[in-house]
């Protein structure tokens, strides 16, 4: 019944409104795959995403593998380019230049973090902004802020897509963003205050220097928690009926799981959930939407929706 | 005594803490002029600002004249390029291309608004971001948002400079920004939440769709009013001891002035001022700082502080 509701793009109120990021992501990937099929059938180009992976960081390996798998589900072509951790900045810049020039590559990402001897900012700025499907290039950040069409970075885009798919009202609502990072806090704040839907919210950004964080949270209609501080948001910080979006994903040691750790959000789910109208779980909330947003950006890169 | 205090970069508490934007701007221009003198004496290049003015809009004429005068006070070279209102977009783009190429021009601005047949966004994006001293190019907007060195647009930069020169505490303070425009509200919010000083504030952005605007204002330690709505902020919206920055400059008909109008801020000054610890008047507050920020950007363009 839940998936049926999702298909209708409307969820009816239920006593336990858990936002199902996994199901939503699956559905969006199916929509993308259908569109790619049509494009290719009409003689158009199959979207092609390349990913550059440096070294063998466990987290990065997992993310890149998941991105390649998502490409397959969407009917995209994907290319993985690997470098050892001792690759020079110059070699990496030369690789980016080749990808910028390669007409078959519609979009590409360089998986972060990079080894310390390489400037991440320099790498990001070397990427042709028209292929910057991660949305990290200053031109895409700036255009997003001004309200122009652009590649929006994956996590903020995923959050807004969830709000939209669950028809959550945002206009005139007080949205408190916890965290001011460049990849989540700042861009999601910027999008939530934008004109239109989802947007038009009164937005407050709190962070480590905020003195009135609890007070701000208690007034919030929507809380977007992106501090990376496990179970920071407690029940006594949330008003009844609030919408909670939990972006935190910290690996916390666990004796229950096989891996010896579990992904823990910024929200103390068990005590907060009963007070909320909607809440995203961790895992299975914002996480799956992040890769899904990258897929949407790649589709738009292939269709040249924003540039050229 | 006030100017002496300003020279010491510290103002002592007084019963009537009016932030004197005019005096601060004068002082900064004097500092810039002294630095330019040193640069030129050491064989360096005199900074050179060009302004492009299209048509004969009264406001634009006044602003551009004031900018040229400020260049003179700072010891800059300035060039004014005029076009009639029927100039084509192509002609204007060709002019921008020439200014981009001209090694003697360190920075330039195209005075807005432009006639309706010309796309302002296209013009802004055609400007080499390294010469974009207005800070409107998406690269400068994006870099500002990410916290990288960049040309910050003039009004937000001027507001932060005033807070700094008056040693107004911002860390952990609740700053309410009224208005979400691309040239004031959004960038000043982004700067106030940035790490460091002035910054580290808890920032709330309110706008026409906000339902809790009065309530938010009443909790604010700092209010930055940039709605363009004359005398919108009343005494009953401000808590005792707040800092008020008034960005509004609306021409309101007046029988008192020779011109038949007077510039009116977003704040009902007479009733709000007695409650504040600091307040900027209109005129003579943020206004003079705006042109002053353009001069600082031009100095940095000449010194290549941010780029190349």
pLDDT, tens digit, for every residue of A6-53? Answer: 444 444 444 559 999 999 999 999 999 999 999 999 999 999 999 999
Query: How far is the C-alpha of A19 from the C-alpha of A26, rounded, in Å?
Result: 13
Structure tokens at B21: 């934007």
Contact B9, B165 (CB under 8 A): yes
Q: Give the pLDDT band of residue B6 (cuts 50, 70, 90).
A: very low
For an interface test with B, which of A122, A129, A137, A142 has the most B Cβ atoms less than 10 Å from its Cβ? A142
pLDDT score for B260? 86
pLDDT score for B15? 53
pLDDT score for B258? 86
A134 is catalytic: yes
The Cα of A139 is separated from the nearest Cα of chain B by a number of Å equal to 5
Bridge partners of residue B109, in order along the sequence? B51
pTM of this structure: 0.92
Nearest CA in chain A to B192: A205
pLDDT in tens, A247-271: 999 988 888 888 888 889 999 999 9
Class assignment of domain B43-129? alpha beta
Give the list of residues 6+ apart from residue B190 with CB closer than 8 angstroms, or none: A145, A186, A190, B144, B145
Catalytic residue among A67, A77, A131, A173: A67
- Interchain contact, B205 vs A209, CB within 8 Å: no
Give the list of residues 6+ apart from residue B247 with CB closer than 8 angstroms, or none: B155, B159, B179, B184, B224, B225, B226, B265, B266, B286
Considering only CB atoms, which chain B residues are within 8 Å of A212? 174, 202, 219
For an interface test with B, which of A135, A182, A202 has the most B Cβ atoms less than 10 Å from its Cβ? A202
- Ordered by start, the domain boundaries in chain B are 43-129, 152-287
Residues in chain B: 308
CA distances to A205, B148, B155, B180, B279 from B191, rounded to whole Å, are 12, 11, 12, 13, 19
CATH code that applies to domain B152-287: 3.40.50.720
pLDDT score for A15? 53
For an interface test with A, which of B140, B181, B182, B205 has the most A Cβ atoms less than 10 Å from its Cβ? B205
pLDDT in tens, B84-143: 999 999 999 999 999 999 999 999 999 999 999 999 999 999 999 999 999 999 999 999
A67 is catalytic: yes
Considering only CB atoms, which chain B residues are within 8 Å of A142? 137-143, 145
Catalytic residue among A134, A221, A246, A266: A134
The Cα of A18 is separated from the nearest Cα of chain B by a number of Å equal to 27
pLDDT score for A261? 86
- Mean pLDDT along residues A209-226: 96
Class assignment of domain A153-287? alpha beta
Provide the pairing of β-strand B261-264 with B250-253. antiparallel
Class assignment of domain A43-137? alpha beta
The Cα of B39 is separated from the nearest Cα of chain A by a number of Å equal to 30
- Least confidently predicted of A94-108, B84-98, B109-123, B244-258: B244-258
Contact B256, B274 (CB under 8 A): no
pLDDT score for B16? 57
The Cα of B59 is separated from the nearest Cα of chain A by a number of Å equal to 24
Average pLDDT, chain B: 93
């Amino acid at each position: 019944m839940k998936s049926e509701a999702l298909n209708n793009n409307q969820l009816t109120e239920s006593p336990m409104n858990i936002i199902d990021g996994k199901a939503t992501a699956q559905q969006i990937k199916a929509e993308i795959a259908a569109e790619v099929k049509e494009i290719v059938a009409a003689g158009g180009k199959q979207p092609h995403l390349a990913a550059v992976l440096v070294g063998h960081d466990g987290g990065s390996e997992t993310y890149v593998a998941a991105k390649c798998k998502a490409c397959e589900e969407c009917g995209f072509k994907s290319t993985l380019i690997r470098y050892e951790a001792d690759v020079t900045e110059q070699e990496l810049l030369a690789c980016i230049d080749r990808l910028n020039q390669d007409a078959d590559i519609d979009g590409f990402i360089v998986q972060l973090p990079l080894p310390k001897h390489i400037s991440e900012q320099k790498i990001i700025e070397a990427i042709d902004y028209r292929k910057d499907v991660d949305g990290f290039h200053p031109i895409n950040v700036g255009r997003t802020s001004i309200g122009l069409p652009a590649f929006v970075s994956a996590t903020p885009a995923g959050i807004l897509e969830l709000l939209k798919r669950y028809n959550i009202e945002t206009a005139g609502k007080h949205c408190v963003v916890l965290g001011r990072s460049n990849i989540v806090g700042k861009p999601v704040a910027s999008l939530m205050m934008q004109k239109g839907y989802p947007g038009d919210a009164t937005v407050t950004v709190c962070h480590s220097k905020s003195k009135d964080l609890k007070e701000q949270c208690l007034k919030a209609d929507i809380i977007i928690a992106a501090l990376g501080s496990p179970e920071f948001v407690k029940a006594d910080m949330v008003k009844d009926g609030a919408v909670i979006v939990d972006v935190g994903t910290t690996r916390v040691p666990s004796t229950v799981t096989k891996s010896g750790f579990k992904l823990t959000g910024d929200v103390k789910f068990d005590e907060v959930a009963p007070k909320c109208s909607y809440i995203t779980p961790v895992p299975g909330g914002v996480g799956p939407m992040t890769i899904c947003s990258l897929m949407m950006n790649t589709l738009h890169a292939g269709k040249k929706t924003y540039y050229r």
